[in-house]
Amino acid sequence: MFNFETSLGQASFANPIFTASGCAGSGRELSQFFELTELGAVVTKSIMLKPRSGRATPRMAETPSGMLNSIGLQGPGIDIFLEKDIPWLRDQGANIVVSIAGESVEDYAVLARKLRSVSGISALEVNISCPNVENRGQVFACHPETARAAIEAVRRNIGGELPIIAKLTPDVTSIAMIAEEVVAAGADALALINTVLGMVIDTNTMRPKLAGKTGGLSGPAIRPVAVRAIYQVHEAMPQVKILGMGGVATGRDAFELILAGASAVSIGTATFGNPTAVMKIKEELKAGLIAHGFDSLKEAVGYAHRVEGNL
């Protein structure tokens, strides 16, 4: 019997296929197509303290094998989210990973305090890497000091054992160095990678296509960047579990991230084209692992690091 179970920090999941934050809201639309309990977890859209309308439109542009977005963390704010989305997700029986984002270290502290006594949450994804903030200085994960401060604030205020998954950007010189900082600050696991900062110029209007000018690039175009980042971080800290993401569209793609060192995989952009992509990827991944002779997912995590004769 194949064992598909996985864990991130102290949280356990029946299988490694999660939604990616921002690509499925809180799962309502997906629940028309399959039971959310079929997923390893639903990762909610990063929620902020206050309601937020996001950036001006246009906010999306197609790119070769990818998509550029500049949503700007649109959302209802934590109070409405806790009142409407969490009870609904609990009713579905879903495994819930709540993603949070802040404009300041204090925002992260307040968000953590608001979540500390909420039941039914498996883990917190702390998004310190949104590329679509007005002030690039607010991309906490671009600097070791700010990355550390945001994670420390969550750790101090969340209380108890709720695992913290720090979401990092690949737009840095050394992602392994930032990863080491956030783990030292109290992160139990890492989400790798957020989108890659990009830009598209419309050659007819001769102006940037996105109102926000820059945006986050996702989709298959960034998968090699995700594989590289996961591989580097797993090599530096093999004991720290990774939720991998970045352009996964098939079970083969998910397998590639697992071989690099991911213990679970989030599916994002692929869901826009096919709402059942997550279910297809889950089945393909399981079949691929079995075809390669693995008895469990865990045996395959980081397999690409193992040297011949030491398997």
Which positions touch ligand SIN (CB under 6 A)? 22, 46, 71-73, 127, 130-132, 194-195, 216
Give the nearer residue to ligand SIN in terms of CB position, either 26 or 195.
195
Kind of pairing between the strands at 241-244 and 189-192: parallel
Q: Assess contact for 4 and 14: CB atoms under 8 A.
A: yes
Integer Cα distance of 278 and 173 in angstroms: 32
Of 216 and 247, which CB lies nearer to ligand SIN in the complex structure? Answer: 216
CB of 66 vs ligand SIN, minimal distance in Å = 13
Among residues 6 and 132, whose Cβ is nearest to ligand SIN?
132
- Cβ 152 to ligand SIN shortest distance, Å: 20
- Residue 75 phi/psi, 5-degree rounding, is 175, 170
132 C-beta neighbours (distance < 10 Å), count: 21
Nearer to ligand SIN, 138 or 274 (CB): 138
- Check if 130 is active-site: yes
> Nearest distance from residue 84's CB to ligand SIN, in Å?
19
Q: In which region does residue 243 sit, left (phi positive, over 0), alpha (psi from -120 to 50) or beta (all else)?
A: beta
- Between CA 113 and CA 29, with CA 154 as vertex, the angle to 5 degrees is 75
- Spell out the residues 6+ positions from residue 137 whose beta carbon is closer than 8 angstroms to its own: none
Of residues 102 and 216, the one with the C-beta less far from ligand SIN? 216
Q: Please pick, among 130, 193, 267, 278, the residue that the annotation labels catalytic.
A: 130
Residues 6+ away with beta carbon under 8 Å from 9: 123, 163, 164, 165, 188, 189, 241
Please report how close the Cβ of residue 115 comes to ligand SIN at its closest, in angstroms. 18
Dihedrals phi, psi of 163, to nearest 5 degrees = -65, 140
The nearest distance, CB 286 to ligand SIN, in angstroms, is 29
Q: In 3D, which of 288, 290, 238, 229 has the Cα closest to residue 263?
A: 238
The backbone torsions φ and ψ at residue 277, rounded to the nearest 5 degrees and listed phi first, read -55, -40
- Show which residues are catalytic: 130
